Structure formats: C-alpha cells, structure tokens
C-alpha cells in the first residue's frame, strides 16, 4: 500500500528480504500512545468542565469515524445507515432508564443491544453490495426512526429528555460521561487493533483491496464482514447513548438523521480511508472545523461539502497517508518487507 | 460571537489536549482506573467577576431559520443598552451577550448550550423558537444549574414535552418560560371563526411532532367543547409528500374550516395539492407556519386570505422596559434598518432581554445562579408582548401569554405586498382589533 522510509536496516546479504511487523521504535511508540490513552482518564481531575465536555464530543466523533472506517475502509461496506444504530443506542438508553435501569449501566446495555440489532440487520444487509447496501442501510435507519415516531411512550415525534442524570452534580456527570466515552473509544480501538494485528488483519486488508480476489484466495469474507458490521453496530450504539448523555434531549428526526452518515464519511474521507489512524485525525479536523466555522451557518456546511469533494478528487487516500509517509515510526499493524538493496523500497501494507 | 469568545475556546492547554488526542491510536482498553479520583470543579468566575454574560440561542439556519431572521436586529438593540452595563445593588457590572445558532437541530442546540455554559460560563441563558432549539437548551441549563428564560414554544410542548407531569406544580428549578398555550389558541379560534358562517366542521392536519401532539391532546377537546366537530385523518409525519388521502377525507366530510400546525414546506405542498384537488375551505387557519410574511408570500396567490395568529404585532400597546422602545417603534425601526417587513419574532425576542435585565436586577447577586433563578420565579416585567408575571400559573415555570387571531390580506398601501390584520383579541383585550375575518377567496 504505502511506501515508508526505513524503519530498520537489517544487516547481511544485500538481496535478503525480511518481513517485520514491528520495530523497537514502533513498540516504544505504541507503549507511549497506550500510556497517553490511559493518562487521558485523568483529564477530569486536572481540567475544568469545558475541556471534559469538549473532549467527550471529540471522542464521540472519533468513535463514529473509526466505526465507519472499519465498515467502509476494511469491510468494503459503504453504509449510509449507521444512524440506525446511533438512534437505537440513544432510544434504548431512554427505554432502559424508563424501566428502572440507572443511566450509566443503561448506556452500556444500549450499546450491547445495538450490537444485537446489528447482528440481525446484518443477515439482511450483507446480502447486498455496493450502492444497494448503502440504500438498504439507509432504509433501515429511516424505518427505525419512523417506528420511534409512532411510539408515544418514547416521546414520539415530540422528542424526549433523559431523566435521572440530574442527581449528579454537573461536574461529576460530565466526568462520568467522559470516562465512559473514553472507555468505549479505547475498547473499540483495542478491538480493531487486535483484529488488524491477528490473522484477520491480513484478511481484512485483502477484503479492503479486492473482496472477490480475497475470497478466491480462501479468505472467509462473510464471517469477517459480519463481525465488522456487529462491531460497528456496537460502536455506533455506544455513540448514540453518549450523544444522548451529552445533550440530554433527543428527537427521532435528528438522532436518526442522515447527517451523521455525512459526518462519518467526511471524517474518514479527509482523515484517510482504510487506515487505522486516519479516522482519528479526520475526527479531530471535523471537530476543529465545527468549533471554528459552525457559526457561519450555511457557508459552513457548503465548506464541509467542498472540502470533502476536493479530498475525494485530489487526495482520495486522505490526510493521514501524507503524514504517515513522512513519519519515521508506524504502529505495528502492517507487514513490512525490508531489504538493504538500494533499488528496493520497503513495503508496508 | 465575537472574536474574543472564539479565542477562549482555544487556550493553549486545550490545543495540547487535542494534540494528545492523536496519541489515542492503537491502544487497548483500559478500565476507568481513575474513577475514584476527585473531579476538578470549575474556577468560579474565571476572572470575570464584574462581567455578566448572557447566552442567546436561536435557530438562525435550518428548517426554522425564519424565526431567527430578526435576531441580529434585536441583539443590536439589546447590546446598545446592555453594553453600557447594569448597576445592580449599587455595583456596576459589564454585560456581554453571546449569541449562537442552534441550527434548528436538537443535538446542535444542546451542544452550543453546553459550550455557552462550560466555555463562556454564561450567568443567564436566553433561548427562543421551536422545541427543536428551546427544549434541549432548557434541558442543558436545568442539568447544569444555569438560569434560563425561553419563549416561542407552546408552553405545553415545552413543559410536558420535557418530562413534566400534569400534576407537577413546578417541575423545574432553573428554567422559566413565557409563551402562549393551547388555551390561547382555543380562545383565538373560537372568537374568530364565528365571524364567518360555516358548518363548524374543522379538518385538522396535526403532525406527529412536539407541537402537533400537544395540540391534538389539548386543543381538540377545547374546540369540541365549543361546538366544533373535528375531522382528524390522523397524525402525519413531517416531510410527507402526498396528502391525497387527507384531502379526500376533508372533501368527503365537507370541512369548511381547516386547521394545521405544519412545517412551512409541508404546508406549501399540502396547500398546492388541496388547490389542485379542489378542496377550498371557508377558513384556512394555520399556525407554526404562516407566521411571517415571507412564508405566506412564497405561496403566491394561494396565500392571500390565510388566517393565522400572532404573539406580537406592532399594534401591541406595550413598551420594552429595558430599551424603552414601543411596539410601534420596534416594528418601524426594523423595517427601516433592514428594509424587510416586520415579523412577530421581534416582540418576544426583545422581551427575553427585558426579562433578563429585570431578573438580574431582582436577584441579590446577579452572579449567583440559584438567586437569579429564584428571582425569575416571582418576576414581573413589562415587555413588548405584555406584562409577564411568573408565579401566577399555569404552573411555577410558565407564564401563559396571549396569541391573537388575524388574517393575511393584500396590502392596501406601502411597499410590502401582504399585511397581517388582527381580527380578535380575546386573550388580551388591550390590543386593538383591526378587521373582521373574511372568508378565504370569497
């Protein structure tokens, strides 16, 4: 896939080829990043509510971007219906709190139930390919939104407020939501990291590059796609529950709105489709753009669209590939072919 | 939003934090090991002890953008006065108003409200126009303990739509509301409709959304009690493209009165289809859309004669207590400054600032959020929409204000094609009535 500068230079026969997965530099980097991730749990004890709330929003966007990238970037499933699981996660949280579950366990259960829904939906949706899959997932999201609109117990079209969080002080409430968001994000990134690091990683990357060729080589495409779809359902369900916790009020037209798919596509496209780090970068870019330009109204939305189009045309692999080509170390996810022969460049993919 | 507000969002420590967010890549899950640690509270005041900050959230873009159209003008009027500061308890405070666009979307509305609460540290929140913006902002304020005054959502949709029970006398501690309710609609309709002779059959198109559901459960029975029979084809979903079945039902039942609470694009679709399919009631009573001349003009000839209702017009005999501007001057000033026709949003938006200033002055300490909230609960204030007085019902959080029936007519003079004339003032007899309701396309 990508060409990378030398990470290691094994000595010996000039024509000898070696496959390496990690170097000491990349292992150290991973360790440092892991420490940073764990260290982020300390943010609510060190910074004020604003930093906590803003980072919570950012992490929710990261979860969404990472999940859409897993679907489209690795699984080859271009879904524009992930808002089905976002809305389902949010409304499942409401439903559970109405039935006596306290809000935070309800959010975890809602994410799990979104994964169950995804498993059921996958049986239908994975029969579809390409554009059909995109339309199919969207139809499911719209249908689910309409069902909620008809349910007066869940507020119907009026929308509904999440009760039960008022018993916490605002600082503690924001801190708990932050910790839960960070836990979800790290869990999802961890799961994806393992999927890519294990044998499934090579299979996923083969599916990403060409699904039919991968199948012909003996890659078991269906179970992998199923697993990715369920994982994405879980992640989007978690994001929905967290969006609800962050905003306390939802309406079906908004939480099942297709704008979430647009945001996800934007983040992944700008960050880097089919890369581990790209969607995280994309989420940060989207978050900053929203902070800086959202007050421009319609022009902000036009700008977002224009940026997405420009990236699709001129930098289809996203911003991360530009960054990663210049980075001396990479995460130990791919396979590197290394040789000291000057005419051959190292391969990473 | 001023440049300095933006700068505050991006303190160096935040940048560092975000950058460290990059380091999230490739990490395995870690339990909330630090959850036992104490959580840091916010520094009180943030070094702005002498400055009172007021947040203002309204829909400036999106489906409800028409509501936010005169905001810039009203904000200008309010800032002119508040910019000179407020003297409260012998102490002079600077006042800063920070306005944000809720984009007609609940999630965005909540997000900007949280930004105002946590980043700008507003002392008081104001919000207006449609449940999609007002309800999430009110929820964010109630949860964060920030006093909030809101308007232009039928109060039932605001109060019950956010979880209050009919038995609650005061469901919320920090959020307060002034707006018309279903009773005021019923007053307006039952006073105005007899001005045209009909068979008293009302065809209704009430959507499945916050307003529509509130109207269906509360307005329907009131109209029936007044002797009208309701022809209800059932709640429709916003964004429906084909209304043939509803139109057929209205024609079959010969509903000579038609009433709807739609989104503007839905009404345009419905009304064109009704015209094509030959449904022409004698009274076309619309609410929620048809509030503004621009929306009615967009219907072309079909819009003339549509009856509506107004929560403020330039003929209201009231004056803003904060700015000293009368209703007449407010409407004329807006038309002069912008070249656009007055809209009824001008009144309640300015009233929000009247109420805000009065609440801050009534509290012993305007920086004490609990004290400001308590002050609002018994506040009495003069505004362009009338005298607001909290604590007199319908419940502890709400003042019910009038909405008066009227009709869009072709303007007899002036630069604007349409004119809104009041046909009744049952909910506030101080407001002069200009004309009788005329049958649609008589």
Residue B290 has a pLDDT of 86
Using alpha carbons, select from A305, A253, A278 the residue that is nearest to residue A189.
A278
Residue B422 has a pLDDT of 96
Percent of chain B with pLDDT over 90: 72
Would you call A10 an interface residue with chain B, using a CB distance cutoff of 8 Å? no
Q: Is residue B31's pLDDT more than 70?
A: no
* Confidence grade of residue B211 (pLDDT, cut at 50, 70, 90): confident
Distance from CA of A156 to the nearest CA of B (A): 7
Residue A143 lies in a domain: yes
Contacts of B22 in chain A (CB under 8 A): 277, 280-281, 284
Of A156-170, B362-376, B426-440, give the lowest mean pLDDT range. Answer: A156-170
Distance from CA of A158 to the nearest CA of B (A): 4
| CA–CA dist A171, B136 (Å, integer) | 19
B140-163 pLDDT tens trace: 999 899 999 999 999 988 998 888
Residue A52 lies in a domain: yes
B38–A45 CB contact, under 8 Å: yes
Other Cβ atoms closer than 10 A to B203 = 24
Percent of chain A with pLDDT over 90: 50
Q: DSSP code of A17? A: -
**What residues of chain A, 101 to 160, have a C-beta less than 8 Å from chain B?**
146, 149-150, 152, 155-160
Q: Is residue B284's pLDDT more than 90?
A: yes
Residue A296 lies in a domain: no
| CA–CA dist A102, B258 (Å, integer) | 45
Domain that holds residue A97: 43-275
User: Residues B330-350: what's their mean pLDDT?
Assistant: 96
| CA–CA dist B440, B442 (Å, integer) | 5
ipTM above 0.85, yes or no: no
Torsion angle of alpha carbons B365, B368, B370, B372, nearest 10°?
Answer: 50
Q: Is residue A4's pLDDT more than 70?
A: no
Would you call B44 an interface residue with chain A, using a CB distance cutoff of 8 Å? no
| CA–CA dist B118, B111 (Å, integer) | 10
Residue A4 lies in a domain: no
A157–B21 CB contact, under 8 Å: no
Residue A162, CA atoms < 13 Å, CB-side half-sphere: 32
DSSP secondary structure, B81-126, as one string: HHTT-EEETTEEEEEEEEEEE-TT-HHHHHHHHHHHHHTS--SEEE
Using alpha carbons, select from B8, B126, B118 the residue that is nearest to residue B75.
B126
Q: Specify the CATH number of the domain B49-180+315-400.
A: 3.40.50.2300
Candidates B106, B143, B157; nearest CB to A166 = B143
B17–A47 CB contact, under 8 Å: yes
Residue A211 lies in a domain: yes
Residue A20 lies in a domain: no
B97-120 pLDDT tens trace: 999 999 888 889 999 999 999 989
| CA–CA dist A65, A60 (Å, integer) | 9
Asked if B8 and B119 count as a contact pair (C-beta separation under 8 A), the reply is yes
Residue A342 lies in a domain: no
A55–B21 CB contact, under 8 Å: yes
A246-267 pLDDT tens trace: 888 888 988 999 989 999 999 9
Residue B15 has a pLDDT of 38
DSSP secondary structure, B140-157, as one string: HHHHHT--EEEESS-HHH
Asked if B311 and B348 count as a contact pair (C-beta separation under 8 A), the reply is yes
B66-102 pLDDT tens trace: 899 999 999 999 999 999 999 998 889 999 999 999 9
Q: Is residue A6's pLDDT more than 60?
A: no
pTM comes to: 0.82
Delimit the CATH 3.40.50.2300 region(s) of chain B: 49-180+315-400, 183-310+403-422
Please list, residue by residue across A277-315, b when 16 or more beta carbons sit within 10 angstroms of its beta carbon and e when fewer do. bbbbbbbbbbbebbbeebbebeebbeebeebbeebeeee
Residue A231 lies in a domain: yes
User: Residues B231-245: what's their mean pLDDT?
Assistant: 92
Count of domains for chain A: 1
Q: Is residue A285's pLDDT more than 90?
A: yes
* Confidence grade of residue A269 (pLDDT, cut at 50, 70, 90): very high
Would you call B55 an interface residue with chain A, using a CB distance cutoff of 8 Å? no
Architecture of domain B183-310+403-422: 3-Layer(aba) Sandwich (3.40)
B139–A249 CB contact, under 8 Å: yes
A62–B21 CB contact, under 8 Å: yes
A248–B25 CB contact, under 8 Å: no
Asked if B94 and B105 count as a contact pair (C-beta separation under 8 A), the reply is no
Report the helix count and the strand count for chain A, using DSSP H and E.
15, 6
Both tokens assigned to A18: 């070696």
B106–A40 CB contact, under 8 Å: no
């Amino acid at each position: 896939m990508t060409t990378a500068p030398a990470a290691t230079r094994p000595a010996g026969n000039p024509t000898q080829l070696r496959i390496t997965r990690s170097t000491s530099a990349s292992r150290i980097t991973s360790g440092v990043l892991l420490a940073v991730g764990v260290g982020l749990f300390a943010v609510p004890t060190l910074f004020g509510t604003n930093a906590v709330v803003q980072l919570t929003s950012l992490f929710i966007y990261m979860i969404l971007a990472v999940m859409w990238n897993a679907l489209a970037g690795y699984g080859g499933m271009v879904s524009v219906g992930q808002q089905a699981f976002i809305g389902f996660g949010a409304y499942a949280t409401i439903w559970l709190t109405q039935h006596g579950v306290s809000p935070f366990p309800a959010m975890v259960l809602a994410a799990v139930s979104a994964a169950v829904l995804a498993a059921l939906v996958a049986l239908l949706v994975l029969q579809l390919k390409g554009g059909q899959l995109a339309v199919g997932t969207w139809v499911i999201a719209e249908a689910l939104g309409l069902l909620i609109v008809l349910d007066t117990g869940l507020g119907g079209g009026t929308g509904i407020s999440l009760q039960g969080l008022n018993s916490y002080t605002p600082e503690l409430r924001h801190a708990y939501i932050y910790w839960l968001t960070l836990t979800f994000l790290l869990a999802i990134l961890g799961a994806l990291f393992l999927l890519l690091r294990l044998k499934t990683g090579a299979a996923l990357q083969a599916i990403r590059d060409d699904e039919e060729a991968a199948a012909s080589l003996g890659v078991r495409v269906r179970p992998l796609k199923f697993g990715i779809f369920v994982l994405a359902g879980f992640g989007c369900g978690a994001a929905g529950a967290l969006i609800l916790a962050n905003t306390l009020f939802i309406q079906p037209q908004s939480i099942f709105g297709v704008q979430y798919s647009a945001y996800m596509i934007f983040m992944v496209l700008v960050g880097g489709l089919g890369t581990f780090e790209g969607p995280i970068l994309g989420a940060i870019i989207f978050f900053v753009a929203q902070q800086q330009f959202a007050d421009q109204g319609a022009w902000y939305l036009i700008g977002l669209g224009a940026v997405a189009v420009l990236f699709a045309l001129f930098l289809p692999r996203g911003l991360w590939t530009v960054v990663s080509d210049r980075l001396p170390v990479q995460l130990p996810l791919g396979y590197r072919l290394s040789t000291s022969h000057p005419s051959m460049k190292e391969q990473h993919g | 939003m001023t440049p300095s507000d933006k700068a505050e969002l991006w303190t160096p420590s935040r940048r560092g934090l975000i950058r460290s967010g990059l380091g999230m890549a490739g990490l395995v899950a870690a339990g909330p090991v630090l959850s036992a640690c104490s959580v840091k509270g916010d520094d009180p005041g943030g070094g702005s002890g002498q400055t009172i900050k007021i947040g203002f959230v309204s829909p400036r873009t999106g489906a409800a953008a028409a509501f936010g159209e005169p905001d810039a003008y009203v904000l200008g009027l309010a800032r002119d006065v508040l910019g000179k500061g407020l003297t409260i308890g012998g102490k002079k405070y600077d006042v800063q108003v920070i306005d944000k666009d809720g984009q007609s979307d609940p999630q965005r509305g909540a997000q900007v409200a949280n930004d105002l609460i946590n980043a700008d540290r507003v002392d008081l929140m104001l919000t207006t126009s449609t449940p999609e913006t007002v309800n999430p902002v009110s929820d964010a304020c109630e949860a964060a303990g920030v006093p909030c005054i809101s308007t232009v959502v039928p109060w039932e949709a605001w109060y019950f739509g956010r979880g209050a029970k009919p038995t609650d006398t005061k469901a919320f501690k920090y959020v307060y509301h002034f707006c018309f309710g279903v009773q005021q609609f019923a007053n307006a309709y039952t006073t105005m409709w007899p001005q045209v002779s009909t068979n008293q059959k009302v065809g209704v198109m009430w959507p499945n959304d916050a307003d529509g559901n509130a109207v269906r459960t509360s307005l329907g029975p009131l109209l029936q009690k007044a002797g009208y029979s309701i022809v209800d084809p059932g709640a429709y979903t916003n964004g429906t493209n084909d209304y043939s079945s509803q139109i057929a039902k209205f024609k079959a039942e010969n509903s000579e009165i038609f009433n709807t609470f739609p989104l503007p694009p839905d009404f345009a679709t419905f009304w064109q289809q009704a015209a094509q399919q030959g449904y022409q009631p004698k009274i076309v009573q619309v609410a929620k859309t048809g509030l503004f001349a621009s929306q009615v003009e967009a219907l072309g000839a079909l819009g003339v004669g549509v009856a509506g209702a107004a929560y403020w017009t330039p003929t209201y005999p009231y004056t803003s207590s904060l700015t000293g501007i009368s209703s007449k001057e407010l409407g004329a000033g807006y038309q002069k400054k912008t070249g656009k026709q007055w809209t009824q949003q001008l009144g309640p938006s300015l009233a929000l600032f009247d109420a805000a200033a009065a609440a801050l002055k009534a509290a012993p300490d305007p920086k004490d959020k609990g004290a400001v909230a308590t002050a609002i609960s018994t506040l009495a204030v003069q505004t362009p929409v009338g005298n607001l007085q909290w604590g007199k019902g319908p419940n502890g959080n709400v003042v019910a204000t009038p909405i008066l029936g009227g009709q869009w007519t072709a303007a007899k003079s002036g630069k604007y094609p349409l004119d809104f004339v009041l046909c009744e003032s049952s909910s506030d007899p101080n407001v002069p009535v200009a004309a009788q309701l005329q049958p649609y396309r008589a």
